[in-house]
Structure 1
Amino acid sequence: MLAIGSPITSIHINTTCTALLRELEVDEAANTKARFHQSLAAKEAEIATLVAALGEHDINSPTNTGKRSASLKEKLASVTPLVEEEKRRKSDRLQKVLQCVNDVHSLCGVLRLDFGQTVDDVHPSLHGTQVEQSTNISNSTLEGLEKTILKLKTERKARIQKLKDIVANLFELWNLMDTSKEERNSFLRFTYIGATSESEITERGFSRSRMKERVFKKRSELEEICRLTHIEPDTSTAAEKASALIDSGLVDPCELLANIEAQIAKAKDEALSRREVTDRIDKWLFACEEENWLDEYSQVSQ
């Protein structure tokens, strides 16, 4: 039996401790390597999922395409930015798909088509409730949406041109029949299309800013006529009030335009009747002035 404190005992203890430390180091290295392998596999799986969501299935593992002699730590460091890049690509693609879906929705509203059926024809997930989780954002889906948008825009263009042709014929008939403004105002919504670009025709009719511009222009015309004829314009269609009504959606802008058109017609009629009166007054004043001049001339001659 070895005595405690003897040189042999110390050597035995040191040897045992060294062996234990080496065993611990080996276990720690193995655990660290396993964690690196697990993290690397998780990153590669995440990349594969992200790339598959984009519809790009035929890819090579990023760790296989790199240096074969690279350490696990180096491979993990090289894969991490790739994951972030694929996340960014997925986010960008999702935004593109959602924008295309919004465009399809707007065009279907203009053309009075079934939006759900239209996007279902591209991919059923586009009409789901959990958009970010369920929406298919593959290349084929994006291409399908772009083709659908092009098809809908072509249809919208054809319909607008057809409506413009009808409106042109309507104007010709109005001019031939001397149709009154009151009768024409009932078709005001359609006659404005002739001066409107395709992009300004939205699901709710004309774009709000464009309609405001038309309303303000007509209101300015009314105010100018009233100023020249010394008439107080109707305050119900004042610019501030009209703008608030259009923004609130309480009033159809086309009805507001028709109202202002009617006020302009009324102001012009009032101006015409006043002009007849003022013309008579001017003639009477001129006659009085001429008579006074003749009287004065007669007195001077005598």
Structure 2
Amino acid sequence: MHRLSIPTPPTPLQKLQKLWDEIGESYNEIDKVLEVIEQECLAVYDKKIDETTKYKADLQGSLARAYDEIVSLTSSLGEQVTYSWKKEGSLKQQMSTVQPVLDDLRMKKVLRWEQISEILTQITDISSNIAGSDYHGRNGPDFDESDLTERKLDQLRARLQDLCKEKDDRLQKVNSYISAIRDMSETMSSDVSDALSNVHKSLTDFSMADAKSISDDTLAGLAKLTESLKNEKHQKLLKLQDLGRTMQDLWNRMETPMDERRRFKHITCLLPVQADDALRKGCLGLNIFREAEHEVEILNEKSSKMKELVLKRRCELEEVCRKGHMDVNSDAARQSLVDLIDSGSGDLSHILASIDSQIEKAKEEALTRKEILDKVDKWTNAKKEERWLDDYEKDEKRFTPVKGGHTHLKHAEDARRRISKIPAIIDGLTTKVKAWELERGVRFLYDKHPLLEMLEEDTNLRAQKEEEKRELRKQKRLQRSLASDKEA
């Protein structure tokens, strides 16, 4: 088979030569034209060379910037990227090698920045909440994008975790304060919504339940409000307890039946309660105070019966003092008390409380005096026996046989035994009394007389009597001696 030959199309120069031949242009004109065409072609080549040179420079610049950006991105991301740094092949081949690496690093930077930006936004929101600022930044604070490493990301996560924990702790404190405030307000039957709102509107706005303020100012405000309510609760509790004790005191003094007292059990049951104890709702409400105050007012109106009770207590005080041989000005004090009650200028409940206090003190003092008074009884009883023995020994008929005479003899022996113990009793009493007076800084009075003086006086009298007895015995011995000499 034979191939068909395709004729070659004439070149532009051939076409131009044909046209010149047909026109009949001279060789000089043709040379000039060819020279012009040559210059124009050179100019076109120079322009293209310049463009190509610039394109090459651009490629080199892009490649250099790509290398620099890769270095910057690997440093910023803290990653090691493996690719060929050998500048082999054409510029486009080198660019095709570098570009995928650069695109991958750029994508990693975008993803890393999105992670960091999200964490920064959360940090900003929580920090603003803690600081008490109403502004919540969406893009987070200023951040140096030159450090986008995993280490920096972990640091931010740790910072966010710390802030979340602090936020949870603060929120727990806020809720604890609010719970305590509401409990106290329910106990006192009061409304604290306005007070909470004044601390921060989010504390009472249910639409902001998930965005309660946790700032230092809010915590300080809640702490102050809590302390204020605690003080108010404490004062109200003390006042109601005082009313309750007054009622109980008046009931006891006026022997009020238990049925009437049970009506106020919700008040009297608060007497042993402490301010920090949990109290039931409404137990410190205004209506409870009015109820208690009304009952106390009614009880105070029954003061006529209390007058009798006051005098009865006064007699009880006098009896305690009498049994304890303590000083009490019975007649004058009772008359002064009657005058005070009749004048109406004295508070009977306070007077009765004062007398009760005096009775308690008198009983306490009587207990401290009991041991000494027991010894005084032994002393006085021994002195009675001594007087009886003196009278018995003066009786010249004591040895005459009579009915019951042996009983008197036995009584005399027992009396002598008791009398012999008087000096020891006095010494023991003196020691006890001195210790008692030293401890209390007052004199020990026995029926208004200083007991030490009584003991000293008795000791002196006893010594005097002993001296008189010795003199009498001496005279008797002398008389017997004279009589014997006379008889001899």
Q: Which amino acid aligns with 1:47?
A: I
Residues 1:200 and 2:200 aligned together: no
Residues 1:183 and 2:260 aligned together: yes
Residue 40 of structure 1 deviates from its aligned partner by 2.0
Residues 1:122 and 2:199 aligned together: yes
Q: Which amino acid aligns with 1:184?
A: R
Contact kept? 1:94, 1:137, Cα under 8 Å? yes
Residue 70 of structure 1 deviates from its aligned partner by 4.8
Alignment partner, residue 242 of structure 2 = 165
| 1:103 partner SS | helix
- Deviations along 1:122-168, one digit per CA (max 9) or x if unpaired, are 11110122454231111111110010000000011111111111112
Residue 21 of structure 1 deviates from its aligned partner by 3.0
Residue 201 of structure 1 deviates from its aligned partner by 3.9
Residue 182 of structure 1 deviates from its aligned partner by 0.5
Residue 103 of structure 1 deviates from its aligned partner by 0.5
Contact kept? 2:112, 2:148, Cα under 8 Å? no
Residues 1:29 and 2:105 aligned together: yes
Alignment partner, residue 260 of structure 1 = none
Question: 2:237 & 2:252 partners in 1: Cα distance?
Answer: 22
**What are the equivalent positions in structure 2 for 1:147-296 lying under 5 Å apart?**
147-204=224-281
Alignment partner, residue 169 of structure 2 = 92
Residues 1:43 and 2:119 aligned together: yes
Q: Which has the higher contact order (CA 8 A, sep 6+)?
A: 1
Q: Flag as ranges the 4+ runs of structure 1 deviating above 4 A.
A: 12-18, 60-64, 68-71
Alignment partner, residue 72 of structure 1 = 149
Q: Which amino acid aligns with 1:126?
A: L
Question: 1:203 & 1:167 partners in 2: Cα distance?
Answer: 17
Change (3 A) 1:71 1:123: closer
- Deviations along 1:31-67, one digit per CA (max 9) or x if unpaired, are 212322332232222211111111177xx96966xxx
Q: Which amino acid aligns with 2:261?
A: R
Question: 2:102 & 2:254 partners in 1: Cα distance?
Answer: 102
Q: Name whichever of 43-52 and 146-155 sits farther off.
A: 43-52
Change (3 A) 1:132 1:88: farther
Contact kept? 1:54, 1:139, Cα under 8 Å? yes
Contact kept? 1:123, 1:136, Cα under 8 Å? yes
Question: 1:43 & 1:88 partners in 2: Cα distance?
Answer: 15
- Taking only the aligned residue pairs, the percentage that are identical comes to 22
Residue 19 of structure 1 deviates from its aligned partner by 2.8
Contact kept? 1:100, 1:145, Cα under 8 Å? yes
Question: 2:230 & 2:154 partners in 1: Cα distance?
Answer: 47
Question: 2:183 & 2:204 partners in 1: Cα distance?
Answer: 14
Q: Which amino acid aligns with 2:124?
A: A
Alignment partner, residue 130 of structure 2 = 54
Question: 2:155 & 2:172 partners in 1: Cα distance?
Answer: 27
Residues 1:110 and 2:184 aligned together: no
Alignment partner, residue 449 of structure 2 = none
Q: Which amino acid aligns with 1:175?
A: N
CA RMSD of aligned residues (A): 2.8
Change (3 A) 1:111 1:205: closer
Contact kept? 1:47, 1:86, Cα under 8 Å? yes
Contact kept? 1:50, 1:90, Cα under 8 Å? yes
Contact kept? 1:63, 1:75, Cα under 8 Å? no
Contact kept? 2:132, 2:214, Cα under 8 Å? no
- Deviations along 1:188-226, one digit per CA (max 9) or x if unpaired, are 1111111112233424368xxxxxxxxxxxxxxxxxxxx
Q: Which amino acid aligns with 2:231?
A: T
Gap regions ≥5 residues in structure 1: 1-11, 207-302
Q: Which amino acid aligns with 2:243?
A: I
Return the match for 2:159 from 62, 71, 82: 82
Question: 1:33 & 1:108 partners in 2: Cα distance?
Answer: 56
| 2:177 partner SS | helix
Change (3 A) 1:119 1:71: closer
Question: 1:129 & 1:196 partners in 2: Cα distance?
Answer: 35
Change (3 A) 1:29 1:18: same
Change (3 A) 1:71 1:129: closer
Gap regions ≥5 residues in structure 2: 1-87, 134-139, 284-488
Question: 2:274 & 2:142 partners in 1: Cα distance?
Answer: 50
Contact kept? 1:107, 1:203, Cα under 8 Å? no
| 1:199 partner SS | coil
Q: What's the TM-score once normalised by structure 2's chain length?
A: 0.36
- Deviations along 1:205-258, one digit per CA (max 9) or x if unpaired, are 68xxxxxxxxxxxxxxxxxxxxxxxxxxxxxxxxxxxxxxxxxxxxxxxxxxxx
